[in-house]
Amino acid sequence: MRTWAPPIANIGVSGGCVEEAWFGWPCDKTLEDLRDQFSRESDPAKQVEIGVALQKRAYEVVPYVNYGQWFQPTAYRTSLKGVLISPVPFFWNIEK
């Protein structure tokens, strides 16, 4: 979770009640405390630990349900080199 959607920017894992989240979102102090710890931690290894704890807590309280996913088919011509595989298109690093 933390690699593509950092917990501090992912509104889906917010537990801030009405004051700090979308209407109808849950009030969960533990979830908010973990998000705060994650944002204040500068050590990447400790951020991973906090991120794991945050994800476990999110699975316990289920702040939202993902109703679907999609996969965008992507094609590149064979003459292109250095195409970066990612969920969003990057146009640097490409050579012809």
Task: Convert the pLDDT of each residue in 37-82 to its tens digit.
Answer: 999 999 999 999 999 999 999 999 988 887 887 777 888 888 999 9
For 58-87, the DSSP string reads HHHH----------------TT-B-PPPSS
CA count, 13 A, side-chain hemisphere, 77: 5
Q: Which two tokens stand for residue 30?
A: 């533990």
**Looking at the chain, how many residues does it have?**
96
Each residue of 11-30: pLDDT tens digit? Answer: 788 888 877 777 788 889 99
Q: Where are the domains of the chain?
A: 11-61
